[in-house]
Amino acid sequence: MSPEPKSGFDLGRRATLQAENVSPLKAFLVRLSSPFNLFFIFITILFGAPQIYDALSPEPMRPTQESQLQEVASLLDDIYSTLVNMTFMPATAIKRGPHQINVTAIPCARDSAVLRLMEIMPFVDHAELKASAPAFEVDWFYGGEFIDYRRIDHLQSGCDPYRAKGTWHQVRDTEVQLTDWGWGGWDSDRTHVLLYDTQINAIQVYEGEHTVSLTNEDNPHRGREHYAGPDLYKHSFSQPLAALSTDDFEWDKWFDAPTFLKRILHAYQSLALTPWETSNREDGWGVNGTIIKSLLHENGWRHSFNADHFNADLIRVRHADPGRGPAEAAYQSIKTLTGGITELGFHDPGDIEYTRNSIPRLDETARQTKDEEQHWYWLYRAVSDRWTLERQEMELEEAQKTIERLCPNDECIAPGDKILWDFFHLEKVYEEAQRAMPAQEACNKAPRYDTCIARHNNETRWLHLAYENSKSEALTHCASTGCTLLPQQSLEEKMLSSVGRLHDRLIQHPDQVKRLQKWYDSIPEHLATAREDVRKDIDRHNDAAQSEAESIERLRQLFKEGDREKWQRCMDDQGCPYLGMLFT
């Protein structure tokens, strides 16, 4: 008789009993292979898969979110386009969507609305910006940099927009930064990061030290911070900015995104702000922000804007004479020596005050130190500063005498003659540009060749227009007054002037070396380190004197050769081998 067939339960039980004598892993696999367990796993996967998928995948967007995201992307595009229309940056810098975002490079959770905004929002290409201007900084909104989520580093930094490193702030999966943390140094290293929350359609602004709060116009007793661009943050019943209700803990720190972006756009379009004002302030653009606004107005901004004339005027203002004509160098020397208020409103004490204040501190340090080597070291530092102070005071006296001679009654330029000096400075810049390297050669190794060429062409066109306009005004002035244009230095005069400056420096070294040698001899011989410090300065003066003497001889030899092309190259290049340490 054939054996009676076993039921599934019996087979499973038999398999379980047999597994008692095998390894734990094999026993588990045997148990798992039972029909009952396999059926249970199948049912679990069948009914649980949707819930598992929902838990792992980003939350789907609401229908209204798409329109909100499109509006945010559109407003950013309008802002960037306004900066392009102002010629602040090239049109090629804007990279419009849709973009392919490398989501695998994002080290934090991102909901579907954030990823969608990354796909459709415009980016600004940093490489294009830097190719469009030699020293272009990539910050545009009070230190906040243009964002570009095609870049891995921006995807990663977006997970820690406030650089908190997980301490006091953690980004939510619904938040995405619209500006990146900048390192340009604007406003004492503070930077404005715009953080957008897709869930509440709101923007928060972190300015490097704390989160910006709106200014509640309906509550005049509320304390008010002074933020850059304060009109951007005003809130009232008639012009609301807040995105949350007042009973929310952070109601005054989240701004309605469309309202806030429209305010930024309007500020640029109305010239309440300019991108030159809100970016790169630590280096400056060579022109006061108020003057730039005036030039934009004068050249038809916004509806009949003449970009070429605006940039030509910008060049003219950048190289205009401050009104001191031949005494400008003396004025600059006095400013360096005596200080004053900087463009950013800080007090600069000046070289003389700085040196004068250092001497008592050095004397006190020398008195207090008990180490003999250190005592003589600080004594030498103090006496060196006394010598420096003597030289600075002599330079100040000479500069003041120069101004008295060139500017009687504080008038350095005759009334109406400022245009002559403006053109004199611009003509020098124009002639140097004519001798510069051709655009094709200068851009040959540039990473963005076409952008580099376009920049050169624009700069050449604008400089030529500035030159022609300035020259025309100068000639018109002379036609009515009988004056003549101020002549530029000839090559021969430049060469002789360079030799003269080198000679003036050369003859100062012997007296300084004698003074140093006398101090060196006064130091006890057993103080080798203290004596070595002074010996190094003696050697430095002797080396400088030798270098300057050799430079003078090379210039004289070059002058004798009569090769004017070599002369010109030498005068145009501060690193000219014929000049050594000479600054031209």
Residue 345: predicted pLDDT: 72
Pair of tokens at residue 366:
């020398």
The Cα–Cα gap between 263 and 212 comes to: 15
pLDDT in tens, 82-136: 999 999 999 999 999 999 999 999 999 999 999 999 999 999 999 998 888 766 6
- Once rounded to an integer, what is the mean pLDDT over residues 375-384? 97
pLDDT at 294: 97
pLDDT band at 283 (very low <50, low <70, confident <90, very high): low
Judge residue 254's burial from the number of C-beta atoms within 10 Å of its C-beta, 0-12 exposed, 13-18 middle, 19 or more buried. Answer: buried
Residue 42 burial by Cβ neighbours in a 10 Å radius (0-12, 13-18, 19+) = exposed
Measured in residues, the chain has a length of 584
Question: Could you tell me if 243 and 256 are in contact, meaning their C-beta atoms sit under 8 angstroms apart?
Answer: yes
Stretch 233-243: mean pLDDT, rounded? 91
Closest CA to 384 of 547, 536, 501: 536
Q: Helix, strand or coil for residue 543?
A: helix
d(CA 4, CA 75): 80
Predicted confidence band of residue 561 (pLDDT cuts 50, 70, 90): confident
Least confident piece of the model among 32-46, 243-257, 390-404, 515-529: 32-46
Residues in CB range of 144: below 8 A, 6 or more apart: 179, 180, 181, 182, 191, 192, 193, 194
> Is the pLDDT at 53 greater than 70, yes or no?
no
Integer angstrom CA distances of residue 542 from 104, 500, 545, 575, 579: 63, 19, 5, 22, 18
* SS3 assignment, position 446: coil
Which tops the pLDDT comparison, 36 or 444? 444
DSSP lists the bridge partners of residue 341 as 347
Whether pLDDT at 314 is above 90: yes
**Tokens 């050249």 correspond to what residue?**
299
Report the pLDDT value the prediction gives residue 6, as an integer from 0 to 100.
47
Confidence of residue 219 (pLDDT cuts 50, 70, 90): confident
Phi, psi of 6 (to 5 degrees): -90, 150
Contact 323, 412 (CB under 8 A): yes
Whether pLDDT at 45 is above 60: no
pLDDT surpasses 50 at 19 = no
pLDDT at 582: 38
pLDDT(51) > 90: no
- Burial class, 77, CB count within 10 angstroms (exposed 0-12 / middle 13-18 / buried 19+): middle
Q: Quick one: CA dihedral 413, 418, 420, 426, positive or negative?
A: positive
Name beta bridge partners: 197.
Answer: 175, 202
Mean pLDDT of 291-307: 97
Give dist(CA 369, CA 576) in Å, integer: 46
580: nearest Cα among 502, 468, 480: 502
Read off the pLDDT of residues 491-528 as tens digits, 9 standing for 90 and up: 888 888 888 988 999 999 999 999 999 999 999 999 99
Quick one: pLDDT at residue 225? 63
Check residues 280 and 93 and name the one with the higher pLDDT: 93
